[in-house]
Amino acid sequence: MHEFGSTPPIPPLRAALRCRCPRCGEGPVFDGLLAVAPRCAVCGLDLSAQDAGDGPAVFVILLLGAVVVGLAATLELVFAPPIWVHIVLWLPATLGGAIALLRPLKAGMIAMQYRHLALGGGPEGGRPAS
């Protein structure tokens, strides 16, 4: 079991891309597709206080929406294909992209909460005094 002082927290980007605990970098953050585990199986970090909310979904909508709409508009202007081509291309791309982006973005939001002391991060293991 890791103690906070034995290893520094891993960078939030690494925790996000690997979907791992923001403190130890080893335990998985998720207990399913998008369900957050109550605590890290390796270091015991309490993840029940995380509050990613709708942030990851908003980022997915903005990022993926811009890419898909840009590519669909380009395809339409250059080739003018029938509507079924758009459906066959963009529906799976949108669904697959949303699933692929939601996990790391949610893990990144959790890692940022830990980094900014909202999940018991920092040397004292708690929130900053107000």
Query: Is residue 98 in some structural domain?
Result: yes
> pLDDT, tens digit, for every residue of 94-123?
999 999 999 999 999 999 988 887 776 654
Q: What is the pLDDT of residue 52?
A: 86
Alpha-carbon gap, residue 15 to 26, rounded angstroms: 9
Contact 15, 47 (CB under 8 A): no
How many domains does the chain contain in total?
1
Q: Is 20 helix (H, G, I), strand (E, B) or coil?
A: strand
The pLDDT-based confidence of 130 (bands split at 50, 70, 90) is very low
How distant, in Å, are the alpha carbons of 56, 59, 80, 89, 121 from that of 36?
A: 13, 18, 43, 31, 17
- Give the residue-averaged pLDDT of 3-16: 75
Q: Which two tokens stand for residue 12?
A: 């939030």
Could you tell me if residue 48 is inside a domain? Answer: yes
For CA atoms 87, 89, 92, 96, the dihedral sign is negative
Domain assignment present for 53 = yes
Q: What is the pLDDT, as a whole number, of residue 122?
A: 52
| 41 located within any domain | yes
pLDDT in tens, 36-94: 999 999 999 999 888 888 999 999 999 999 999 999 999 999 999 999 999 999 999 99
Confidence at residue 123, expressed as pLDDT on a 0 to 100 scale = 45
pTM (predicted TM-score): 0.80
Structural domain boundaries enclosing 92: 4-115
The burial class, CB within 10 Å (0-12 / 13-18 / 19+), for 70 is exposed
Q: Which two tokens stand for residue 112?
A: 């940022």
